[in-house]
Amino acid sequence: MPALRHLRAEGRRMGATPYLSIVIPVYNEEENVRRLQEQVTAAVDPLGIEYEVIYVDDGSRDRSFEILRELASGNPRMRLIRFRRNFGQTPAMAAGFDAARGEVIVPLDADLQNDPVDIPRLLAKLEEGYDVVSGWRQKRQDKGLTRRLPSMIANALIARSTGVRIHDYGCTLKAYRASVLKDVRLYGEMHRFIPAWAALEGARVTEMPVTHHPRTAGKSKYGLSRTFRVILDLMVVRFLGGYGTKPIHLFGGMGFTLCGAGILTGLITLYQKFFEGIKAHRNPLLMLAVFLFLLGVQAIMLGLLAELGIRTYHESQGKPIYRIAEMVNFEKAPAPVDS
Ligand code: UDP
Ligand code: MG
């Protein structure tokens, strides 16, 4: 693969600093980890690049971590993190991202459903000049009704509302340039939204079909309920992406609309009183008018509170409201420049 040739040279030059960090969340996968590590080695060793494999044990209650520890004792490329309890796949991935030293980060499921064989292709695609290459499980091997259908709906919703048109947000196997992940803070089931986040921050995102196998050992950790959590998370992402720095525009807009509807309803009530002889206190529209107007005022108040919140959020974390790619003839950058 020509795109990978210069990586090889670079890998040798850099010596110990890995070019690639593979991040694997593990929760009760004792039957899988051994073979997984073999597969990763078989897929990545031939590339001749420096790499590390970071396993994050998310509070497994089986022998996953013992097996990993045993494997890692003979393999310095393997680095392990063990959580005190089960925190969830997203925190596990976040811990791996934080620990990763590579320029490129590739997360992977531990259950052998993703195939490490795809990693070289993802890397090559990334080297064509992308910041995110998203895996697309074109032939997904999961149950149709409880897994594939909800996921299709969620993917369509996410793609529509974020404007980042990739097919498979849920696929863990993706390749990221580390600089893109540096600014992403993950909450909830958010790991699937990283491509959308990244695109909002100005990253170049593309996708590529990847292999997907049925789960042969261990159990899936999720069911139908995840779909609802994903949709709620989507609302958060959409909100932060669209109105994250100007919440009053959303709440204020709603507030004005509601107040306007309240005033209109009030006017109708008055009209009916004076011209149609309907007594206002007998007219249900009066209640509606008051109700709408108060809701509108509430929405505006909520917007003002959100404005306060958003200032705390951006300033306490030193989060700029923009992202700079490059600066010329400046001594000091006002915000960290993405490399
Ligand atoms: N996982 C985790 N913590 C959890 C749930 C899952 O680290 O609380 C890991 C799990 O071990 C696997 C990956 O996340 O490596 C994906 O989980 P799973 O295969 O159950 O999800 P599915 O493929 O069914 O969507
Ligand atoms: Mg799985």
C-alpha dist (Å) from residue 232 to 157, 225, 229: 11, 11, 5
Write out pLDDT tens, residues 241-290.
778 788 999 999 999 999 999 999 999 999 999 999 999 889 999 999 99
Write out pLDDT tens, residues 179-236.
888 877 777 678 888 898 888 778 899 999 999 999 888 888 887 788 888 888 888 8
Question: Per-residue pLDDT averaged across 163-168, rounded?
Answer: 89
Q: What is the pLDDT of residue 144?
A: 75
- Identify the residue whose tokens are 């396993």: 55
Amino acid at the residue 283: N
For ligand 1, whether the C-beta of 57 sits within 6 Å is no
Gyration radius of the chain over CA positions: 25
Q: How far is the CA of 220 from the centre of ligand 2 (A)?
A: 6
Q: What is the pLDDT of residue 211?
A: 93
Residue 172 near residue 140 (C-beta atoms within 8 A): no
Instruction: Return the ligand number nearest the Cα of 91.
Output: 1
State which of 58, 109, 148, 222 you would mutate to test the pocket of ligand 1, scoring each by most atoms of that ligand within 8 A of its C-beta.
109
**Nearest residue to 181 via CA among 203, 166, 158, 156:** 203
Confidence grade of residue 11 (pLDDT, cut at 50, 70, 90)? very low
Minimal-distance CA residue to ligand 1 atom 18: 220
For ligand 1, whether the C-beta of 233 sits within 6 Å is no
Within 13 A of 230's CA, how many CA atoms are on the CB side?
23
Minimal-distance CA residue to ligand 1 atom 13: 109
Report residue 13 as tokens: 């030059």
Q: How far is the CA of 12 from the centre of ligand 1 (A)?
A: 34
Write out pLDDT tens, residues 126-151.
999 999 999 999 888 877 777 788 88
Task: Indicate the burial class of 179 (C-beta count within 10 angstroms; 0-12, 13-18, 19 or more).
Answer: middle
For ligand 1, whether the C-beta of 226 sits within 6 Å is no
Phi, psi of 120 (to 5 degrees): -55, -40
In sequence order, which residues have a C-beta less than 8 Å from that of residue 125 and are 6 or more positions away?
Answer: 133, 175, 206, 208
> Which of 60-74, 190-204, 295-309, 324-338 has the least mean pLDDT?
324-338
Question: Per-residue pLDDT averaged across 91-109, rounded?
Answer: 93
Name the packing angle between helices 284-316 and 247-276 (round to 10°): 170
Q: Which atom of ligand 1 is nearest to the CA of 109?
A: 15
Write out pLDDT tens, residues 62-92.
999 999 999 999 899 999 999 999 989 999 9
Expressed in percent and rounded to 5, the helix, strand and coil fractions of the chain are: 55, 10, 35
Within 13 A of 210's CA, how many CA atoms are on the CB side?
34
Q: What is the mean pLDDT of the chain?
A: 87
* pLDDT cut 70: percent of the chain above it: 90
Amino acid at the residue 279: K
For ligand 1, whether the C-beta of 90 sits within 6 Å is no
The β-bridge partners of 99 are: none
